[in-house]
Amino acid sequence: MKILVQKFGGTSVADLECQKQVCAKVLAALGRGYKMVVVLSARAGETNRLLALADEWSKTPDLAERDSLVSIGEQLSVALFAILLKDAGVKARSVLAFQIPLITGDEYSDARIRSINSDWLRAELEKYDVLVVAGFQGVTEEGRITTLGRGGSDTSAVSLAAALQAEECEIYTDVDGVYTTDPRVCSQARKMRTIAYDEMLEMASMGAKVLHIRSVEFAKKYKVPVRVRSTFTEDPGTLVTQEDSSMEAVLVSGIAYDKDQARVTMRGVPDKPGIAAAIFGPLSEGGVLVDMIVQNTGRDGITDMTFTVSRKDLAKTLELMQKVNAVIQAQEVMHDVHVAKVSAIGVGMRNHSGVAARAFAALQKERINIMMISTSEIKISILIEEKYVELAVRILHEAFGLDWDMGE
Amino acid sequence: MKILVQKFGGTSVADLECQKQVCAKVLAALGRGYKMVVVLSARAGETNRLLALADEWSKTPDLAERDSLVSIGEQLSVALFAILLKDAGVKARSVLAFQIPLITGDEYSDARIRSINSDWLRAELEKYDVLVVAGFQGVTEEGRITTLGRGGSDTSAVSLAAALQAEECEIYTDVDGVYTTDPRVCSQARKMRTIAYDEMLEMASMGAKVLHIRSVEFAKKYKVPVRVRSTFTEDPGTLVTQEDSSMEAVLVSGIAYDKDQARVTMRGVPDKPGIAAAIFGPLSEGGVLVDMIVQNTGRDGITDMTFTVSRKDLAKTLELMQKVNAVIQAQEVMHDVHVAKVSAIGVGMRNHSGVAARAFAALQKERINIMMISTSEIKISILIEEKYVELAVRILHEAFGLDWDMGE
């Protein structure tokens, strides 16, 4: 059985006209001999409408009930689309999580998939040519409805593709693929034909929000080839897949940026063991995600500790730091919201030195001051003044040869 | 375990303010020591909105998919109400049909309940004080969602009460009980304290649309005491229950009327065996429900056959009768839509003669012409000109002593 999974987002199923275009995509794939699993999101705006209702009913709505509530958005989408397919003469049916079942833990609103009954799905694929599966939802062992968190329909699609060993998982969206950087910022941005899972993970977490990050982790774990493409064109899009030698030949695959950064500096803290724990322990307990961290080499037993957080968490962070400071006695707590992060990403940089140096040189040439640097195996991130972020993206894009077709 | 079932309709759960009133009713019953099963309908207008979507997507939407679609109206209601109860500190949860499960046949859009897992419900009632159950929905043995037809939430409530041997099943609605007749037509109409199942069946099918008829059949079969009352008052409403001697002491309990009647007469048909079958067979096959039927005694081998159908079925009926007439050769096919039916109902009339005579005399006194008469054990129905229907209701209401408090 040759199986293809296709996932369509909220704008693709928003109204009858959109759903007819989706229908055409599905019919085309059926014509190529596939059995199909079509995963749908809620219609655009529906999930927010339902969440707003829950918030109207309670300031702290019960999470299990809220999940049961918001899951109806996808139930609506799949029933309507199945009606459309049957009208077109296709042997199709809608499928809800409890019917498979697709079992998750009971972390309501952000549940993790535990198992998928692929035997049941295969049996249904014997009877039907298309299963229209509600994305975003699962059920606990006890049969209570859960949701997988924002963007969870991508995760549904990839995990169904993994369970069924589908040939490919196509994620249809309103962009036609993954670009070397944001085309709105850099006119030289190119669509990539392929990208490695690890690169995609860095891109996704950096604000290139094409794919839900957990779905990429899933795809990587189960080696599911994922294709990101547009509902509204015939372009083959970008294939997210295992890295190969051709990818490693490219030093940097893409440039990402993130403006949602605020910098906090604890100036003049005693340079002794336990200081880092004293600062970051309370932040972790308070649910604040820390991104970049830099500690300068100390002098005279005194050092500076600098880190960045999401802007929405800044007020909470400063409040926590006041308390921390009663203990650690820094000379000053400073902060700055006019900062942004630019990153160069590529599995190729693993085998090459000098990538960081090339990035710094390019930025320095334009007199862009580098505030912080952090590096990982396949990524270099640089914190700069926010006003330079677009310029920095274009400079790095050119510096790493992404402006020209490198025949990848 | 002392269990009470309460069912609230669409207007009672329409918005937050309404649901708060429902919440108060539930809290009051909890205070009286009950474990509660609260059955909810979809919010007012929701089911129609969903059905309209299905119709937009297809002229003949797949019924299984349409059921999955419209069932989300109740899923929305129960999740929101459970959120409200939990906010009020009540141990409560929402319950969907698949979770119980409440099993039905696969007659989509009009499914019949086959079984209810009462063990599961009782176990949940050990853990929770209130189960908020989605009305109107069921699942097939295979786990596909079904609906019970219009007004099916009443049936859900009564069948849950039967399965749990609840003390009572309270149906909250926007009227405060069952009246001896329509108060809009007759200012002398009185609210009944009790009514027998059989009387209620006749009242319900006659347009006194307080309770879904199938729910009354269910209640009668399983001897579930059903109380019809208002969400917006403290009035005890009307108890629908098994008949007892006090009920039989009352000759007529109520007067119902139905304007949705069209009369068809096959004039001058040969008075021979098989004629009735020739006429009513095709109507039955065509899905036309025939209400009253009268055949006059024949003369000279010729007779008239008169019957009534719902007005929406008149065109189809006349079409079918044209075909029938090619065989049976009536002299004329006549019809009249300006007719209405008035009925007197009461278990007491079983033991008394003269009820029909008293009705005819009362109508004759006001010179209301009687077109057709049909009688059953506990009902007399009379077809009259539509313009006299309100007058006839008031006349009969008075003639059978319903205008005064009879101390029932």
- Judge whether B188 lies within some domain: no
Q: How confident is the model at residue B256 (pLDDT cuts 50, 70, 90)?
A: very high
Residue B344 has pLDDT above 90, yes or no: yes
Residues B41 and B136 in one domain: yes
| DSSP string for residues in A187-205 | TT--B-SEEEHHHHHHHHH
Task: Report pLDDT digits (tens) over B134-155.
Answer: 999 999 999 999 999 877 999 9
Residue B394 has pLDDT above 60, yes or no: yes
- Where is B381: in which H helix or E strand? strand B379-385
Residue position matching structure tokens 């064109």: A233
- The per-residue pLDDT for A339 is 96
Residue ending a domain, choose from B132, B152, B174 = B174
Residue ending a domain, choose from A134, A149, A174 = A174
What residues contact residue B338 under an 8 Å CB cut-off, 6+ apart? B385, B386, B387
Sign of dihedral through CA atoms A71, A72, A77, A81? positive
Domain that holds residue B383: 255-399
Per-residue model confidence as pLDDT tens for chain A (408 residues):
899 999 999 999 999 999 999 999 999 999 999 999 999 999 999 999 999 999 999 999 999 999 999 999 999 999 999 999 999 999 999 999 999 999 999 999 999 999 999 999 999 999 999 999 999 999 999 999 999 987 799 999 999 999 999 999 999 988 888 999 988 899 999 999 999 999 998 887 665 567 888 899 999 999 999 999 998 888 999 999 998 888 877 889 999 999 999 999 999 988 887 888 889 999 999 889 899 988 877 778 888 889 999 999 999 999 999 999 988 888 999 999 999 999 999 988 887 778 888 899 999 999 999 999 888 889 999 999 999 999 999 999 999 989 865 444
Give the single-character DSSP code of A299. B
Residues pairing with A230 in the sheet: A173
Residues B152 and B297 in one domain: no
Residue position matching structure tokens 């009513």: B280
Residues B122 and B27 in one domain: yes
Average pLDDT estimate for B217-237:
93
Residues B33 and B135 in one domain: yes
> Can you give B118-136 as a three-state secondary structure string?
HHHHHHHHHHCCEEEEECC
* Chain A residue with minimum CA distance to B144: A99
- Asked if the C-beta of B225 comes within 8 angstroms of chain A's C-beta atoms, the answer is no
Residue A362 CA, chain-centre distance (Å), reads 28
- Judge whether A181 lies within some domain: no
Residues B377 and B268 in one domain: yes
Average pLDDT estimate for B79-85:
98
Q: How far is B58 from chain A (nearest CA, A)?
A: 7
**CB–CB of B341/B383 below 8 Å?**
yes
Residues B139 and B275 in one domain: no
Residue position matching structure tokens 């347009």: B207
- Judge whether A187 lies within some domain: no
Residue B187 to residue B394: CA distance in whole angstroms: 9
Task: Report pLDDT digits (tens) over A244-278.
Answer: 888 877 889 999 999 999 999 999 988 887 888 88
Interface probe, candidates B69, B74, B91, B96, chain A, greatest A C-beta count within 10 A: B69
Cα-Cα end-to-end distance for chain A? 32
Take residue A80 and report the two structure tokens written for it: 């309507």
B positions 30-69 inside 8 Å of A (CB): 50, 53-54, 56-58, 60-62, 64-66, 68-69
Q: How confident is the model at residue B271 (pLDDT cuts 50, 70, 90)?
A: confident
- Judge whether B332 lies within some domain: yes
- Residues in chain A closer than 8 A to B80 (CB atoms): 53-54, 57, 65, 69
Residue B188 one-letter amino acid: Q
B positions 120-179 inside 8 Å of A (CB): 143-145
* Chain A residue with minimum CA distance to B100: A143
Residue A206 to residue A134: CA distance in whole angstroms: 28
Task: Report pLDDT digits (tens) over B161-213.
Answer: 999 999 999 999 878 889 999 888 999 999 999 999 999 988 876 655 678 88
Give the single-character DSSP code of B165. T
Q: How far is B6 from chain A (nearest CA, A)?
A: 20
**CB–CB of A215/A170 below 8 Å?**
no
Residue ending a domain, choose from B139, B159, B174 = B174
- The per-residue pLDDT for A205 is 63
Residues pairing with A343 in the sheet: A256, A381
Task: Report pLDDT digits (tens) over B367-376.
Answer: 999 999 888 8
User: What is the helix, strand, coil percentage profile of chain B, to 5?
Assistant: 40, 25, 35
Which of A69, A86, A94 is opposite residue B76, by nearest beta carbon?
A: A69
Residues A45 and A149 in one domain: yes
Residues B282 and B392 in one domain: yes
- Judge whether B116 lies within some domain: yes
Residue B41 to residue B81: CA distance in whole angstroms: 11
β strands within B111-218, DSSP E = 113-116, 130-134, 137-139, 145-147, 168-173, 194-196
Using DSSP bridges, classify how beta strands B226-230 and B168-173 pair: parallel, antiparallel or unpaired: parallel
Residue B8 has pLDDT above 50, yes or no: yes
Instruction: Give the residue ranges of DSSP H helices in B223-366.
Output: 245-248, 275-285, 314-328, 355-365
Residues A170 and A287 in one domain: no
Residue A272 CA, chain-centre distance (Å), reads 37
- Judge whether B184 lies within some domain: no
Residue B73 one-letter amino acid: G
What residues contact residue B14 under an 8 Å CB cut-off, 6+ apart? B43, B44, B45
Residues A27 and A141 in one domain: yes
For position A67, which CATH number holds?
A: 3.40.1160.10
- Residues in chain B closer than 8 A to A49 (CB atoms): none
- Judge whether B274 lies within some domain: yes
Residues A154 and A270 in one domain: no
**CB–CB of B117/B99 below 8 Å?**
no
Residue A362 to residue A399: CA distance in whole angstroms: 7
Q: Write the CA distances from B291 to B10, B276, B288, B385, integer angstroms.
A: 30, 14, 10, 16
Order the strands of the B145-147 sheet from edge to edge: B113-116, B102-104, B137-139, B145-147
Average pLDDT estimate for B390-403:
93
Do residue A76 and residue B69 have CB atoms under 8 angstroms apart?
A: yes
* Chain A residue with minimum CA distance to B143: A99
Residue B80 to residue A65: CA distance in whole angstroms: 7
Instruction: Name the least confident of A197-206, B2-11, B78-87.
Output: A197-206
Sign of dihedral through CA atoms B179, B183, B186, B188? positive
Phi/psi at A234 (5° precision): -105, 0
Residues A264 and A392 in one domain: yes
For position A333, which CATH number holds?
A: 3.30.2130.10
- Judge whether A71 lies within some domain: yes
> Can you give A227-283 as a three-state secondary structure string?
EEEECCCCCCCEEEECCCHHHHCCCCCEEEEEEEEEEEEEEEEECCCCHHHHHHHHH
Residue A176 to residue A239: CA distance in whole angstroms: 11
Give chain A's domain count.
2
